[in-house]
Amino acid sequence: MKHDEMHHEHEGYDMKEMHHEHQMDHSMHDMHHDHEMMDHDMGHMNHDMHGMHHDMGDGDMMMHGGHMMHMGNLKQKFWISLIATVPILILSPFMGMQLPFQTTFPGSDWLVLILATFLFFYGGAPFLKGAQGELSAKSPAMMTLIAMGISVSYLYSLYAFVANHFLNPQGHVMDFFWELATLIVIMLLGHWIEMNAVMSAGSALEKMAALLPGQAQVIDQAGHQHAVDLKDLKKGQTVLVAAGEKVPADGLIIAGQSQVNESLVTGESKAVAKAEGDQVIGGTVNGNGTLTVQVTGTGESGYLAQVMKLIKQAQQEKSKVEGLADKVAKYLFYAALVAGIIAFISWVFLADLNTAFERMVTVFIIACPHALGLAIPLVVARSTAIAATNGLLIRNREAIELSDKVTVVLMDKTGTLTQGAFKVNAVEVFDTVLDEQRLMQLFGALERHSSHPLATGILEYNQAQTIPDLQADNVQTIQGVGLSGTVAGQSYQIVTATYLQAQHIKFDQALFQTLAEKGNSISYLLQDQTVLGLVAQGDQIKPEAPAFIQALKKRHIQPVMLTGDNQQVAEKVAAQLGGMTVQANLKPEDKEAIVKDYQAKGEVVLMVGDGVNDAPGLTRADIGIAIGAGTDVAIDSADVILVKSNPNDIMHFLNLSHATNRKMTQNLWWGAGYNILAIPLAGGLFAGIGLVLSPAVGAILMSLSTIVVAINAMTLKLKRDA
């Protein structure tokens, strides 16, 4: 949660906690109504994760046409089909030609027929079932095209076998068993590769589940300590985490302090200092201190469960670019069907039935390019691997395609462009009764009830100055303003300058201007409409932020800073970043309106936020990026999650998406583009001028395009220079 959006410029102060609870409740509600609902406890979740990994690892399920299609065991199917293919390649001619490594023996053609029949019904089954699904949905696409290619190859080869052995032993009708076998094996390989990208996500998830300990040390109301299985751990219980132990569940530290290593969960390499009031994530490793933690999330409400839900959703996402491959396949299917029928009818009159059949079959087989089945999966697998190693979790692949069209980037100031680590630069007392120590005691009493960055800055200052603590009661959030509470029976409020102006409460505006122009966020302490004093805190710009803003400008993308902080602070930060549009004094709900305004002007908006109070804006934006992973990342709102809070990762996403889009488009052209010439040539359209594509040449072109597609996909790289 960013300080400048709430609270002292505090827009919606403790909304983080409220929104997070609401989000968790919402997520839990969704999951209860999801047919793939996760079990209620972490023990079962581990089991589910293992099962999910097993399913995905074996490639049991496959997305196609927007529906989950049962693929059988893809890995096993591929290897068994490959073993069956080798004898066919050795014993069967290639498009009618005998290759140097090929041989025959008496009865070898019968062996080829048996193996090809097995391949067609075993290896081809997923594609035949997929085609059935596409045709029943009246939307022929990739599966229908593959099914047509393998069915025509098999049935025509069966006819050729019967003709050569029984009908006309002296003549020779060319078979396509060689092509049938390679088509099935390469298509299985393509879909296995596609599933592999999902499998690796499942594998990573299983590793995260393994981070959790088997048991937790629970402290009961009498103060006794006893071990409880993780699956029996409940929200609200208190657990003891000894030095070096794994944190058993998400929770809030109620006693103790330590350094916690969150690298395996969030990707942040540095150990994070944790003390009373801080949150910890299940699966992180405690350092040298002992922590007493109150459990806030187990099972489906825990961070790991939220990530698991995200992975399942990502698995079922189908981007427009993948849809484009299916669209290409659909056009090819219709084009081949029409061209094949025209060729057949034409050659029946121009030559004989055998020639007509051969031309039609050649058209059908050539129209089903091996490369098209690999075009997108190879790029997706490569892109997924690169993204993961660079701390990018792409939840919605549509974001990749849209990224090239982005014209405006809206981003939070705090945490995205600045460090979010506040330091007290000035304390001013206006009330003659108070001294500086008493003022800071009052600030601290209220701020202790929040884990907000501005609150942290004040508490750290008090600790450094050894200012004694005071107890505050009835501390509540003032929506979009700050905090209120009572200390020693007196009511106090922490508010912003914007609030004072709106309420017409007098304060030293000249002093405010002076402090704000130096880049300070300013909080005021108020009692009965009287300003008692102020605290001015400064934030530091992230070292990589200025280069990031310049990189966006170089791409002709307009950077816009969104902040709940005052205009002067925002303008100063913008100037230090090299100049950008500023929208200041915002409440959380204002951000969504700004996104809508830009979209109404025809802009394609990418919004970067912390994913909590920014959730409406992130959802509304064309692409929503949550920066800085943790329990508060709005998994339901963002399209992309950046594990590290580094603005350069946004450029990495834009660069990787651009490269991925380019590779996908290139591969679709390599995979299917040659059909523009190949189909008419295969059909004999230009036979009158001596131009006929022989099946052998067509097959060579097909094989070359497959090799080019594979090499092209593997050359995908992330260019780090923005």
Active site amino acids = 412
Please state, in angstroms and rounded to a whole number, the distance separating the CA atoms of residues 518 and 600. 35
**By the 8 A CB rule, do 1 and 18 touch?**
no
Please state, in angstroms and rounded to a whole number, the distance separating the CA atoms of residues 621 and 101. 58
The dihedral formed by the CA atoms of 695, 698, 703 and 708, expressed in degrees to the nearest 10? 180
Other CB atoms within 10 Å distance of the CB of residue 273? 12
Please state, in angstroms and rounded to a whole number, the distance separating the CA atoms of residues 296 and 668. 48
Q: Which amino acid is at 428?
A: E
Please state, in angstroms and rounded to a whole number, the distance separating the CA atoms of residues 709 and 717. 15
Residues with Cβ within 8 Å of residue 47, at least 6 apart in sequence: 39
**By the 8 A CB rule, do 30 and 36 touch?**
no
Please state, in angstroms and rounded to a whole number, the distance separating the CA atoms of residues 562 and 584. 6
Please state, in angstroms and rounded to a whole number, the distance separating the CA atoms of residues 74 and 54. 12
Phi-psi region of 585 (alpha: psi -120 to 50; beta: other; left: phi over 0): left
Secondary structure of residue 562 in the 3-state scheme:
strand
**By the 8 A CB rule, do 5 and 12 touch?**
yes
Give the closest residue to 231 by CA, choosing from 47, 24, 44: 44
Tokens of 217: 């040390």
DSSP string, 226-251: EEEEGGG--TT-EEEE-TTPBP-SEE
Tokens of 390: 């660079």
DSSP string, 421-475: --EEEEEEE--SS--HHHHHHHHHHHHTT---HHHHHHHHHHHHTTPPP---EEE
- Cβ burial, residue 529 (10 Å; 0-12/13-18/19+): exposed
Secondary structure of residue 7 in the 3-state scheme:
strand
Secondary structure of residue 489 in the 3-state scheme:
coil
- The separation between CA 234 and the C-alpha centre of its own chain, rounded to angstroms, equals 30
Please state, in angstroms and rounded to a whole number, the distance separating the CA atoms of residues 623 and 638. 8
Question: Which pairing describes strands 482-487 and 473-478: parallel, antiparallel, or unpaired?
Answer: antiparallel
**By the 8 A CB rule, do 477 and 13 touch?**
yes
Tokens of 26: 């919402």
Residues with Cβ within 8 Å of residue 207, at least 6 apart in sequence: none
